[in-house]
């Protein structure tokens, strides 16, 4: 399978805005509830076009509200091994495209944690080299624990 096929089948997304100005969406993929977020960094920044950070998580059973909180109990950033990774990454790309159109950030940051090995960082690096949103360029800052984009 080609890397371009990775982006073909995204789940339906409805963007929502938190009081903080962050953009988020909750999506069901293969019976798993995933959250995608593009949030201001630092959180208290008054500049709406400054730095933003992108993240996504799998929600746990404890999540009852519709808000996206990176620190809720039960959420995981770990590789779950539960499948549908192509739809997950296609949905992440679609989410970013929609969120970028909405807030037009100057800079977007994200991280590939290497806790469970280098595969996630290698995939993220290939993805960002192949797909950088129009008007953006990419930089990769590798460390032993994580790669930062």
- Identify which of 22, 32, 16, 5 has the alpha carbon closest to the alpha carbon of residue 89: 5
Is 52 exposed, middle or buried, given 0-12, 13-18 or 19+ CB atoms closer than 10 A?
A: buried
What is 54-109 written as a DSSP string?
EEEEE--TT--SSS--TT-TT-B-S----S-HHHHHHHHHHHHHHHHHHH--SEEE
pLDDT confidence of residue 45:
64
Taking only the tens place, the pLDDT of each residue in 105-116 is: 888 988 888 887
pLDDT confidence of residue 142:
92
Residue with tokens 């994200």: 110
Longest dimension (CA), the chain: 43
Q: Give the pairing type, strands 51-58 and 107-109.
A: parallel
Is 75 a residue whose pLDDT tops 70? no
Taking only the tens place, the pLDDT of each residue in 89-107 is: 889 989 999 999 998 888 8
pLDDT confidence of residue 14:
92
Q: What percent of the chain has pLDDT over 70?
A: 74
C-alpha dihedral sign at 30, 31, 32, 38: positive
Tokens of 76: 């995981």
| SS3 label, residue 132 | coil
Beta bridge partners of residue 39, listed in sequence order: 53
Determine the average pLDDT of the residues in 138-145: 91
Higher pLDDT, 127 or 42: 127
Highest mean pLDDT pick, 39-43, 76-80, 87-91: 87-91
Half-sphere exposure (CA, 13 Å, Cβ side) for 28?
1
Taking only the tens place, the pLDDT of each residue in 40-72 is: 877 666 665 678 888 888 876 554 555 555 444
């Amino acid at each position: 399978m080609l890397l371009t096929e990775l982006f073909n089948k995204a789940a339906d997304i409805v963007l929502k805005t938190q009081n903080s100005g962050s953009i988020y969406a909750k999506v069901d993929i293969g019976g798993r509830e995933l959250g995608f977020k593009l949030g201001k960094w630092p959180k208290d920044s008054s500049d709406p076009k400054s730095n933003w950070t992108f993240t996504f998580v799998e929600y746990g059973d404890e999540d009852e509200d519709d808000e996206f909180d990176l620190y809720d109990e039960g959420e995981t950033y770990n590789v779950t091994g539960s499948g549908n990774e192509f739809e997950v990454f296609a949905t992440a790309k679609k989410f970013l495209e929609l969120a970028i159109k909405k807030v037009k950030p100057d800079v977007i940051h994200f991280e590939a944690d290497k806790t469970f090995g280098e595969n996630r960082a290698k995939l993220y690096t290939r993805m960002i080299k192949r797909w950088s949103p129009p008007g953006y360029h990419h930089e990769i800052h590798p460390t032993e624990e994580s790669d930062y984009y």
